[in-house]
Amino acid sequence: MDDQLQRLLEAEAHAQALIDAANHERQRILEDALAAVRDAEARFEARRTELRTPFLNEAHARAEQAVAELSRKYGERHRTLCALAARHESEAGEAALTLLLDPTL
């Protein structure tokens, strides 16, 4: 009986040693995974500017293109309005002159 009890105690001690080893291994794996994540985050942070640059360049190019297009469009509109204003000014001058020269109208 003492022999069986001794074997059970040894089996329990062996099982506890296996549990402790597994816990240590699990902790080591977790620490390695956390270290890998920290390294990946650090690499990402280091490259963030590099990754954003092409998108920012494209956005700036599109904005410049939009500004140029709007400037062209509104420049054309400005020239059209100036021409209309000049024509209407001329027509108004002629109408005023006609009224001054022929008050019967």
CA atoms in the 13 A half-sphere facing the CB of 68: 6
pLDDT value, residue 100: 85
Query: CA dist 92 to 6, 15, 83, 84, 89, Å?
Result: 122, 108, 14, 12, 5
Mean pLDDT of the chain: 92
Supply the pTM of this predicted model: 0.50
Tell me how far apart the alpha carbons of residues 81 and 73 are, in angstroms, rounded to a whole number. Answer: 12
Contact 89, 96 (CB under 8 A): no
- pLDDT higher at 8 or 34: 34
